[in-house]
Structure 1
Amino acid sequence: MKFEKRTFFGGARTSRRAILKASAAGALGAAGVAASHPAFAGTAEAGRTYDAIVIGGGFAGVSAARELKAKGKRTLILEARDRVGGRAWSSTFSGLPIEFGATWIHPSQTLIWNEVQRLGISRVDDPNPDFAVFATETGGYAKQELTFLDRQDDLLRRFVEGAETYLPRAYDPFYREDLLVDLDKLTLGDRARQLRLSTLETNWVSATTGAYGGGFERGSLTQLAHWWALCGYNTETFHGINVTRPVGGMGTVISRMLAESGATVVYNAPVTKVTDIGSRVQVTAGGQVYDAAAVVVAVPVNTWNSINFASGLPAEFSRLSTQTVGVPTAKKVFIQVQGDIGRPLVNGKSGALLDLVLAHADKSAQGTVLIGFSVNPKLDVTSVAQVQSAISEVLPGTKVLSVKGHDWGKDGYAKGGWTFRRPGQLLGSLRAVRQPHGRLVFAGSDIATGWGGYVDGAIETGIRAAGLAAGLTTAGASARS
């Protein structure tokens, strides 16, 4: 879906386990018009010419638009969906507010935390679970006291041992690049094999390692270690970042930010083509052509290849999009079960249909609502029968009444869920795609050097991209004068 200044929640230790995160989205686009250029004649009509165009109305795009307004730039947001938020999506289920994507914030994520405070939005902490469920030696699952989580934490610390040395500056992951050359090649599975973890131990730590990465053989060790560094190399903070929610959900936060941006927004306008002609950029979306001096591309990396960048991009951009950064099999499902079953914290085995299950903060009229996270490509989040089978394995006797989920990998404007880099991407592509290419600047939680995978990272890159784009608009104005 990034931490340095910290205020920790000491009391919310076990709520910590709310695993997956999500944060940005939209569609991609292009811009560029000079009325004198024959290929673009007639496109610079009133209402279609801007100082800057932002492609994607997630937190990165809205943050960029707001910053551009502060710099005096007339800005257009082109959003493929009928809503803003992208991979942050507030909805309802069984009479309760839910989040299909980004959910939690933490004081160490200073950008989003300060934003929520400034906007006057209240916060609420999720209550702790009552019990945990873990895999057993016989291949099944068993209910455990919460103290069992200490065994999981011991394994987690072994995974990221040494991060203080090779990632000493959390917001500058390249600072000790010399120490990362070999480490950045490792998958989480490679690390588990280095540690000689048993199958049982691997299952115990799967929900906080392999499930984050979209599987042990997909996710990189350095991504996990980067989050660990942002959390101050501390298990309490690592789990505590998934405890506190803004009242009204992420939808309330981004709506208020959008209102401050003063940007024009065109919804249901997926960008299909972007052409940088040197002095301007042309963006085609929804059958219309828009023109600007600079464009901020603020959509998930996985969708970059869905846009025709007619003037071309360096190979790193296409390669990163093909490899994927957002976990391509990420899913989140809300499950209404019968009765009050307490507040479980289920840690699925590696390869399970549900990697992690926890209870919604509030009770519904029918009993308990569970929240399930999955990276298993076989799970159908709309199938009551399939979800029932998965729940019966970990919580025997629990009856599933209804489900409501979202498969982020099948979402054409996301093509994946929360950010989790693959081996080689930190040192191989990240710096390159953060640099402007002509009049295009890229943003999004996927390419943050701080909290990648969280809203804070999206805001970080949106602010940065706005500064770069504003400079391009100034240069464009100078060239035309």
Structure 2
Amino acid sequence: MQMIDTIVVGAGIAGITAARLLQHEGHRVVVLEARDRVGGRMWTDRSAGFPVDRGASWIHGLVDNPLTSLVEDLGIRTLEFTVGSYQAGGRPITNFDETHRALDEQRTSAWLDDVETTDRHLTAAIAAADPGRTYADVAEQAVTACVEDPTRRTRLREFLRHRTEEQCGADFTAVDAHGLDEDAIEGDEVVFPDGYDALPGALSHGLDIRLEEVVDAVEWSPGGVRLTAGRQVHEARRAIVTVPLGVLKSAAITFTPPLPDEVLGPIERIGMGVFNKVFLRFPERFWSESAYALRQLGPAGTPWHTWYDVSRVSGEPVLLTFAGGTWGRRIEAMADAEVVASVLSSLRRMYGPSVPEPVDHWITRWGQDEFSRGSYSYVATGASHHDHDAMATPIADVLHLAGEATWSSDPATVHGALLSGHRAATRVLGRPVDLRALLAPTRPTTRA
């Protein structure tokens, strides 16, 4: 039997990237995936006859993003949709005030000016922040410094709170002051009208991926690794573990010996956010065709504040809203009907009682997903961006961690996960490998 060079745990984008690059370089690679599909947190549901991306949706920023050329070269269709990073403007957004009236052009312009001014103050407050301060602390400092009117202050405060819920999947009282330092993006954003899973589907072709193999134990030594998945035992020269941070935090995988402190410490310090999606398909559109998004400003935006018009993606009248942080965890314990009724209540305050009942809905519960245990990572209070990279410190040159949580400059993104898989492959090889090798045909492999 041919000896396995590398076992990759997880067939998300980080694992597939690492496996494909190593196999391109002639390594014998096996991928063990706990789910019955590839893609991990890239999950497209086609049960309705059109794609619904329950997990990742956007490429955030096309400039200097490795996904941009990769997706283009693979021939995967994209559609410009530049409001996915919780922006105040950028594209048409219908904003509603505290009395649920839509802002006119003049009031919208004043609102965007307030956000721009607050963001400048926020940047300065973050730069001057002492260790241990939260995003809530610096947000309050910025809001207080630039606006005196109580209503406008509250509106800005709520906007910044919801920003962390969407970007981090956590309350802004739990996020470090520097938690959104990497939030700026360059260029437009795009979504996938045919489903984001086209990307892992294309890249996984030709790899030895073994589905429904739930790894629960990893033994490592300078001589190699031994992984247990139920009754199956796999041995290899090395392993790359790409499971989500939530799984690592839960200790669902036992490492023997235990992970060293330089890796375990960051796992404990970095937070795992919960960010859930609620899609509602309506019998007809009741909102403007010109708006990319609808946003309820101020306290009335709790618990539901933003709805994205994904009709241009689905071809059906569908709105997408999000629940992050504490609220994201709360809806996981609610019945679907209760969640839908809650969303409808908010929409009817904005558009009146004539808003129809939806004909279909989709609700995610990533915190309850045993193979994810959350949505994506964030810099919790007491952690730092350095912790992301430190989590990927090679262990005895035989064990490596990868995934979005291990990439400091762009955590919580698909391209961050991809780049972490590339880094893991180069460390295993001990030399650089061109990321564009992902586009090369895979070499034939013999099943071990």
Normalised TM-score (structure 1) = 0.74
List per-residue Cα deviations over 1:368-421 (Å, max 9, x = no partner).
211111111222475233322233224343233232111111111111113322
Q: Give the 3 Å change call, closer, same or farther, for CA 364–119 of structure 1 in structure 2.
A: closer
Which residue of structure 2 aligns with residue 28 of structure 1? none
| CA distance in 2: counterparts of 1:88 and 1:364, whole angstroms | 17
Which residue of structure 1 aligns with residue 445 of structure 2? none
Which residue of structure 1 aligns with residue 212 of structure 2? 268
**1:315 positional shift:** 2.8
Q: Give matches, 1:114-125, under 5 Å.
A: 114-125=69-80
Q: Give matches, 1:180-329, under 5 Å.
A: 182-183=129-130, 185-197=132-144, 198-213=153-168, 214-228=170-184, 231=185, 237=187, 240-241=188-189, 244-259=190-205, 262-304=206-248, 305-327=251-273, 329=274
**1:130 positional shift:** 5.7
**1:360 positional shift:** 1.0
List per-residue Cα deviations over 1:170-226 (Å, max 9, x = no partner).
xxxxxxxxx8xx555332111122225433321133332344231111222323122
Q: Does 1:158 align with 2:107?
A: no
User: Does the 8 Å contact 2:376/2:412 carry over to 1?
Assistant: yes
| CA distance in 2: counterparts of 1:221 and 1:251, whole angstroms | 34
User: Does the 8 Å contact 2:242/2:402 carry over to 1?
Assistant: yes
Percentage of matched positions with identical amino acids? 24
Amino acid at match of 2:121: R
Q: Which residue of 7, 14, 18 maps to 1:64?
A: 18
Q: Give the 3 Å change call, closer, same or farther, for CA 467–382 of structure 1 in structure 2.
A: farther
User: Does the 8 Å contact 1:58/1:86 carry over to 2?
Assistant: yes
Q: Does 1:80 align with 2:27?
A: no
Q: Give the 3 Å change call, closer, same or farther, for CA 75–316 of structure 1 in structure 2.
A: same
| CA distance in 1: counterparts of 2:161 and 2:35, whole angstroms | 34
Q: Which residue of 409, 412, 427 maps to 1:453?
A: 412
List per-residue Cα deviations over 1:257-316 (Å, max 9, x = no partner).
111xx4311101111000013211001113201111111111111211221001111235
Q: Which consecutive unaligned segments of at least 5 residues does structure 1 have?
A: 1-45, 167-178, 473-481
Q: Give the 3 Å change call, closer, same or farther, for CA 247–386 of structure 1 in structure 2.
A: closer
| CA distance in 2: counterparts of 1:131 and 1:114, whole angstroms | 29
Q: Does 1:410 align with 2:368?
A: yes
User: Does the 8 Å contact 1:353/1:379 carry over to 2?
Assistant: no
User: Does the 8 Å contact 1:336/1:403 carry over to 2?
Assistant: yes
| CA distance in 2: counterparts of 1:428 and 1:131, whole angstroms | 35
Q: Give the 3 Å change call, closer, same or farther, for CA 286–353 of structure 1 in structure 2.
A: farther
**1:57 positional shift:** 0.6
Which residue of structure 2 aligns with residue 172 of structure 1? none
Comparing 452-461 with 430-439, greater Cα deviation is found at 430-439
Q: Secondary structure at the match of 1:463?
A: helix
| CA distance in 2: counterparts of 1:340 and 1:400, whole angstroms | 12
List per-residue Cα deviations over 1:142-196 (Å, max 9, x = no partner).
3224544443344334323477xx6xxxxxxxxxxxx8xx555332111122225
Q: Which consecutive unaligned segments of at least 5 residues does structure 2 have?
A: 84-90, 145-152, 432-448
Q: Which residue of 294, 304, 314 maps to 1:354?
A: 304
List per-residue Cα deviations over 1:329-373 (Å, max 9, x = no partner).
3211111234212244224657833343211133878x6211111
Which residue of structure 2 aligns with residue 368 of structure 1? 317
Which residue of structure 1 aligns with residue 423 of structure 2? 464
Aligned length: 393
User: Does the 8 Å contact 1:268/1:286 carry over to 2?
Assistant: no
Q: Secondary structure at the match of 1:108?
A: coil
User: Does the 8 Å contact 2:264/2:391 carry over to 1?
Assistant: no
Q: Give the 3 Å change call, closer, same or farther, for CA 50–357 of structure 1 in structure 2.
A: same
**1:325 positional shift:** 3.0
Quote the RMSD (CA, aligned, Å): 2.8
Which residue of structure 1 aligns with residue 341 of structure 2? 388
Q: Does 1:419 align with 2:402?
A: no
List per-residue Cα deviations over 1:420-474 (Å, max 9, x = no partner).
22123225633421210121111111111332111110111000001112349xx
List per-residue Cα deviations over 1:40-88 (Å, max 9, x = no partner).
xxxxxx37x4100101111000000011112210101010101111111
Q: Secondary structure at the match of 2:201?
A: helix
Q: Does 1:112 align with 2:67?
A: yes
Normalised TM-score (structure 2) = 0.79
| CA distance in 2: counterparts of 1:338 and 1:385, whole angstroms | 20
Q: Secondary structure at the match of 1:326?
A: strand
User: Does the 8 Å contact 2:140/2:157 carry over to 1?
Assistant: no
| CA distance in 1: counterparts of 2:237 and 2:20, whole angstroms | 17
| CA distance in 2: counterparts of 1:400 and 1:321, whole angstroms | 43
Q: Secondary structure at the match of 1:373?
A: strand
List per-residue Cα deviations over 1:3-30 (Å, max 9, x = no partner).
xxxxxxxxxxxxxxxxxxxxxxxxxxxx
| CA distance in 2: counterparts of 1:219 and 1:374, whole angstroms | 16
Amino acid at match of 1:255: G
